[in-house]
Amino acid sequence: MSFIKKNYGWMIVALLALLPMIVLANLITVDLNHGLSITLADGEEEGRTSLEMLYHVSGEFAIRWMTAVLTCTPVFILFGVHSLFVRQAMGIASAVWSILHFVIFIWAEGFVETFSQFNYIAGFVAVLLLIPLLFTSNRKSMKKLKDKWKKLQSLAYVAILLSLLHVAILDKTWAIYALIVGIGFIIRIPAVKEKIIALRSKKS
């Protein structure tokens, strides 16, 4: 029970990150009769082919988790709620979904296609930046890297901006994510941050 009490936030994030995998699993057929064969399921869902659904689901959850990670600091400023290890779990979720999205792209289009359009390149660079963040999102890396750990994790800001650019060129629905991230950056401005914290302190 003590483990659950200590890590319940991390466990909730992990569960929320894994649930959409059920949707992806229904879009893939695995055949073990003659070795390992992985193919797309036949048919359409929500007006999209299986491949389009894989793109859509993996891409949407990648940008959602990235946006969620960057809202952690504004939430702390506004409400005083903070959990570093929950934020790390959210960072892992965003990296895993982003890498999965890129793997699906390579599966469908091939690696060379990555460099055919600017928005693809932006997405590719974002994934590259997330890889070191994924492997250092743990307590051992924090202790080993010390002050360098925070500097490394700041690459998340570059990754989200590149991801928003990637999505913006593909689909205008990116606007809601850009709005959330933009408000978050405004709240981070030192003068704004100090004023919000002062008001929160008075109320408490």
Task: Give pLDDT tens digits for 4-61.
Answer: 666 677 788 888 888 888 777 777 776 667 666 666 666 555 556 777 778 778 888 8
Task: Give pLDDT tens digits for 83-108.
Answer: 767 888 888 889 999 999 999 888 88
Whether 13 contacts 87, CB under 8 Å? no
Is pLDDT above 90 for 70? no
Is pLDDT above 80 for 136? yes
Tokens found for residue 111: 């690696």
Which amino acid belongs to residue 105? Answer: F
Residue 86: per-residue pLDDT: 80
- What is the domain partition of the chain in residue ranges? 1-202
Question: Per-residue b/e over 151-176, b at no fewer than 16 CB within 10 Å?
Answer: ebbebbeebbbbbbbbbbeeeeebee
For residue 114, give Cα distances in angstroms to 94, 127, 129, 130, 132: 20, 12, 16, 17, 20
